[in-house]
Amino acid sequence: MSKVHVKTGDTVIVLSGKDSYRATKKKGKVLKVIPEDSMVLVEGVNIRTKHRKPRGRYQQGGIIHQESPIHSSKVMLVCPRCSEPTRIAKQINKDGSKERLCKKCKGNID
């Protein structure tokens, strides 16, 4: 199990792939983090089409569009204070609590 630099609820940009920031300017919120595989599920990114067959009497079939996970190395955190894509610094306070800091504006992310 490896560590992932983003958490659920963070806003990120996509660095590479078909939804990259340079190609389509994709930004999104992290919906789910899968640390076992170093994957993240980002809202509106890596949309896949799924054909669903109706199961049972009242369930409707059809074509469903849903997000698929992408590797965490392909996303970069967007600082909520300065609205810039940034790396994070981790700091341990005197009371033992940890916090994430923006490398650009030195502001607290959490």
CATH of the domain at 17: 2.30.30.30
What is the model's pTM?
0.83
Task: Tell me: do 74 and 87 sit in the same domain.
Answer: no
Task: Tell me: do 89 and 36 sit in the same domain.
Answer: no
Distance of alpha carbon 61 from alpha carbon 75, whole angstroms: 33
Mean of pLDDT over the chain: 90
CA 97 to centroid of chain Cα atoms: 24
Task: Tell me: do 68 and 49 sit in the same domain.
Answer: yes
1: pLDDT strictly greater than 70: no
Q: Which domain holds residue 36?
A: 1-54+63-78
Beta bridge pairs of residue 25: none
85: pLDDT strictly greater than 80: yes
User: What proportion of the chain, given as a percentage, has pLDDT over 90?
Assistant: 68
Distance of alpha carbon 11 from alpha carbon 68, whole angstroms: 17
Number of domains comprising the chain:
2
Task: Tell me: do 12 and 48 sit in the same domain.
Answer: yes
